Amino acid sequence: MRQQGTLILRLWKGLFNFYAAAVLLFLIVPVLTIVPLSFNASSFLSYPLSGFSLRWYRTFFHSQEWLGALGNSLLIAPLATLLATVLGVLAATGLVRGEFRGKGVVMAIIISPMVAPVVIIAVGMFFFFARLSLLNSYLGLVLAHALLGVPFVVITVVAVLKSYDTSLSRAAASLGASPLRVFCKVTLPLIAPGVFSGALFAFAASFDEVVVTLFLASPSQRTLPIQMFAGIRENLDPTIAAAASLMIGASLALLIVMEILRRRGEKMRPSSPAN
Q: What is the pLDDT of residue 101?
A: 81
pLDDT of residue 275 exceeding 60, the answer is no
Q: What is the pLDDT of residue 75?
A: 92
> Which amino acid, residue 185?
K
b or e along 32-66 (b: 16 or more beta carbons within 10 Å of the residue's beta carbon)?
eebeebbbbeeeeeeeeeeeeeebbbeebeebeeb
* Rounded mean pLDDT, 208-234: 84
Segment 122-141, tens digit of pLDDT:
999 999 999 888 888 899 99
Kindly indicate whether the domain formed by 63-268 is annotated with CATH number 3.30.1300.10: no
Segment 14-39, tens digit of pLDDT:
888 889 999 988 888 877 888 888 88
Where is average pLDDT lowest: 101-110, 253-262, 266-275?
266-275
Q: Which of 94, 113, 101, 251 is nearest to 157 (CA)?
A: 94
Q: What is the pLDDT of residue 273?
A: 46
